[in-house]
Amino acid sequence: MSRHVGGMMYRRGDPAQTQKVFRYLQEHSRVPMLLAANLESGGDGIAENGTCFGKQMQVAATDDPEQAYRLGKVACREGKAVGCNWTFAPVVDIDYNYHSPITNSG
């Protein structure tokens, strides 16, 4: 904490341990920290037992805006439960090259 870090990103892990670390970081930081995770498919982006709702392209394929809303709600609720206050989703990937293994992953 002596380096005055302003944010960190976490990958999926044990939710209790992640929550404990996030709480410690927030309590010992000089400024409120941005604690991020990749929640683009749901709470499984931060908690190993989090809900995998579906990748964004899968949700879009349903052609139902309610499913996109539900994905956001699950990701926010589960991310917040462990202390995440910043996410890298939703994102907009223009599937310009349908052969790309990156935009078509999942």
Evaluate whether residue 39 is within a structural domain.
Answer: yes
Q: Does the residue 55 lie in any domain?
A: yes
Check whether 95 has a pLDDT greater than 70.
no
For residue range 11-61, what is the model confidence (pLDDT) as tens digits? 899 999 999 999 999 999 988 999 999 898 999 999 999 999 998 889 989
- Tell me what pLDDT residue 55 has: 86
Q: Domains in the chain: how many in total?
A: 1
Q: Is residue 105's pLDDT more than 70?
A: no
Asked if the structure places residue 59 within a domain, the reply is yes
Report the pLDDT averaged over residues 84-97.
Answer: 74
Q: Cα–Cα distances in Å, from 65 out to 24, 32, 54, 90?
A: 37, 33, 14, 13
- Residue 73 located in a structural domain: yes
Peptide bond into 90 cis (omega under 30): yes
